[in-house]
Amino acid sequence: MRVMVLVKATEDSERGNYADHAEEFAAVGRYNEELVRAGIMLAGEGLAPSADGKRVAFSEDGGTRVIDGPFTEAKELVGGFWIWQVSSMEEAVEWLKRAPFKGQTVELRRIQEAADFEGKVPQDILEAESRLRARAAQRQAE
Amino acid sequence: MGDHAHRTVEAVWRIESARLIAGLARTVGDVGLAEDLAQDALVAALEQWPSAGVPDNPGAWLTAVARRRYIDGVRRQVTFERKVAEIGRELAETESPMDEIEFDDHVEDDVLRLIFTTCHPALSRDARVALTLKLVAGLSTEQIARAFLISAPAMAARVTRAKKALADAKVPFEVPVGTELATRFASVLEVVYLIFNEGYAATSGESWTRDELCEEGMRLGRVLAALAPGEPEAHGLVALMELQASRIPARMGRDGEIVTLLHQDRGRWNRLLITRGLAALAKARSLSRSAVSRPYVIQAELAACHARALSAADTDWARIVALYEVLGSLTPSPVIELNRAVAVSMADGPAAALPIIDALAGEPALRAYHLLPSVRGDLLSRLGRHAEARAEFERAAAMTANSRERAHLLRRAAACG
């Protein structure tokens, strides 16, 4: 199974203040190395401050409005993520407990598999979704 | 004991057991004894953690318990009356290296030694696979038995025999050097790929894919690539497994029926695994300084041809034919020849491929291989020779042990009219 680990932003990460956190960065680097050595890390990225971000708001009739960052409430913003391949949610919890974080809450979410939707969503919607992903992949490959 | 507590202990075991067993094996010089000691520590954890909670450093806790068991065992072996004077010295000798068992840099080397030991060619393939899953991947005997569709006692006996065979062969706990390294490393790669394939191409039973074995194979491959980062074949194997696994979500249709590669909905392929697989392949290529061909890298190149193609029609079949030719010259095999025939049929049409298939008809290695009549049936049906095609599909259906595959072949036979 796969899980996503959601790490929240902090006020410093939102300010782009990385200089004061060199030690934490080094610790996360060592932790990443452990994850790679264990063969469980599929992906992991940190997000730039929300000042570089955008939001697109959709109105009820589907119209769009673009909102520029930064966004308030650092604690509600995602600051980075991992995707891990683990044998169980308990294994993910045990791995996360080893992460070098202090004073924050980190969230683990199971990534849905196709089997989660079977019988729940009409098949034609699944197939349409699948075609969309194929087209997106095509653009990516071009 | 709570089910949750049990699962937590199992999770910690998955994370810690390889390093624990590897560290112990270096000290006691015997992988079988190391595993017994580690199992004792696991039993203690199952007894104590549910009430006392998981310790802050569970790896160190397990190591300390296993270390105590070892010292207790040494104490029992030493006859008190005769060796009173020696006890102090022996204990001092055994305790000092034991104290060094920490999760230091050496432990990664120990894990590599452990993998080389459980994949030793002195063991049968089945024994290597079982022992690697047990000692390196941290699976329980019950889990391995379920994966291989045999009873837990039978699997336990297989593991015990394998440990005894290692002891009898006096296999040293070390990474081989010199000319031995290449063959031993090939054996390690083979075991990892066997584990993956047992999940990917489930040879029997109801389930077409057994995702957990696939995931474990990929995980072990990544562990190996991290331990031996300079080995192109380690990265090639990771690339091969990740690219093949990227197709798992598309291999089964709405009613659980098999969907073959060319008919798969490529939108369901796992893009993350494809991206990772292509990156691992690029890494393997960058490490291959010489032109020496490497079987896993070439197989990964083959898988990459499919991964890059946006539809079956877009596939670079000429390149696939060429890659099979290289692979066949490197590791001649009728199965590779069969695959080459399929590629030729796509590149140049079924008529060009049929003579290759017919040349394989008397091949003893393929006598019980259902894909030979299955592929021949496909070529014949594309040539409009429906009656012959139908007979081939029926023959193939009678040969496979996989019920989903049998249903697939019988559907194709029926479609021949």
For the stretch B295-308, pLDDT in tens is 999 999 999 999 99
Instruction: State which residue of chain B sits closest to A95, comparing Cα positions.
Output: B15
Please enumerate in sequence order all residues whose Cβ is within 8 A of that of B403, keeping only pairs 6 or more positions apart, or say none: B205, B206
Owner of token pair 């020849």: B337
pLDDT for B387 beyond 90: yes
CB A64 within 8 A of CB A58: yes
Owner of token pair 């695959």: B339
The partner residue sitting opposite B7, judged by closest CB among A39, A85, A90, is A90
Percent of chain B as helix, strand, coil, to the nearest 5: 75, 0, 25
Write the pLDDT tens digit of every residue in A98-139.
999 999 999 999 999 866 766 665 566 666 666 666 666 655
**Between B85 and B288, residue with greater pLDDT:** B288
How would residue A39 be classed by pLDDT, with cut points 50, 70 and 90?
very high
Distance from CA of A94 to the nearest CA of B (A): 7
Task: Output the pLDDT for position B253.
Answer: 78
Write the pLDDT tens digit of every residue in B42-74.
999 999 998 998 898 999 999 999 999 998 887
For an interface test with A, the pick among B210, B215, B237 (most A C-beta atoms closer than 10 Å) comes out as B215
Nearest Cα neighbor of B156 from B136, B140, B168 is: B140
- Min mean pLDDT across A38-42, B337-341, B359-363 is at B359-363
Contact A34/B at CB under 8 A: no
**Between A72 and B266, residue with greater pLDDT:** B266
Task: Output the pLDDT for position B208.
Answer: 45
Query: What average pLDDT is seen over chain B?
Result: 88
Owner of token pair 């379920």: B146
Owner of token pair 């009873």: B151
The CA-atom distances, in angstroms, between B103 and each of B23, B63, B270 are 9, 10, 35
- Tell me what ipTM this predicted complex has: 0.82
CB B165 within 8 A of CB B158: no
How would residue B80 be classed by pLDDT, with cut points 50, 70 and 90?
low
% chain B with pLDDT above 90: 67
The partner residue sitting opposite B268, judged by closest CB among A87, A114, A138, is A114
Distance from CA of A78 to the nearest CA of B (A): 20
Please enumerate in sequence order all residues whose Cβ is within 8 A of that of A133, keeping only pairs 6 or more positions apart, or say none: B267, B268, B271
Chain A partners within 8 Å of B8 (Cβ): 90, 93-94
Contact A111/B at CB under 8 A: no
- Min mean pLDDT across A38-52, A57-71, B201-215, B233-247 is at B201-215
pLDDT for B173 beyond 80: yes
Instruction: Cis check for the bond before A70: say yes or no (omega within 30 of 0).
Output: yes
Structure tokens belonging to residue A9: 């932003």
Contact A124/B at CB under 8 A: no
% chain B with pLDDT above 70: 90
pLDDT for A74 beyond 90: no
Task: Output the pLDDT for position B292.
Answer: 63
Contact A140/B at CB under 8 A: yes
CB B299 within 8 A of CB B221: no
CB B119 within 8 A of CB B188: yes
How would residue B103 be classed by pLDDT, with cut points 50, 70 and 90?
very low
Write the pLDDT tens digit of every residue in B317-352.
999 999 999 999 988 999 999 999 999 999 999 999
How confident is the model over A26-31, as a mean pLDDT? 95
Instruction: State which residue of chain B sits closest to A94, comparing Cα positions.
Output: B12
Strands A107-110 and A78-85: unpaired
pLDDT for B234 beyond 90: yes
Chain B partners within 8 Å of A96 (Cβ): none
How would residue A9 be classed by pLDDT, with cut points 50, 70 and 90?
very high
Task: Output the pLDDT for position B362.
Answer: 86
Query: What average pLDDT is seen over chain A?
Result: 87
Chain B partners within 8 Å of A42 (Cβ): 272-273, 276
How would residue B102 be classed by pLDDT, with cut points 50, 70 and 90?
very low
Nearest Cα neighbor of B339 from B394, B401, B347, B389 is: B347
CB contact (8 A) between residue B219 and residue A38: yes
CB contact (8 A) between residue B223 and residue A37: yes
Inter-helix orientation angle B31-52/B152-168, to 10°: 140
List alpha helices for B29-124, DSSP H: 31-52, 58-77, 80-99, 106-118
Nearest Cα neighbor of B335 from B364, B378, B294 is: B364
pLDDT for B258 beyond 80: no
Chain B partners within 8 Å of A44 (Cβ): none
Chain centroid to CA A100: 18
pLDDT for B96 beyond 60: no
B397 vs B394: CA distance, rounded Å: 5
Task: Output the pLDDT for position B307.
Answer: 96
Task: Output the pLDDT for position B207.
Answer: 53
**Between B206 and A126, residue with greater pLDDT:** A126
Q: Could you tell me how many residues make up chain A? A: 142
Strands A41-46 and A107-110: unpaired
Task: Output the pLDDT for position B1.
Answer: 46
CB contact (8 A) between residue A83 and residue B272: yes
Distance from CA of A31 to the nearest CA of B (A): 14
The partner residue sitting opposite B14, judged by closest CB among A1, A87, A137, is A87
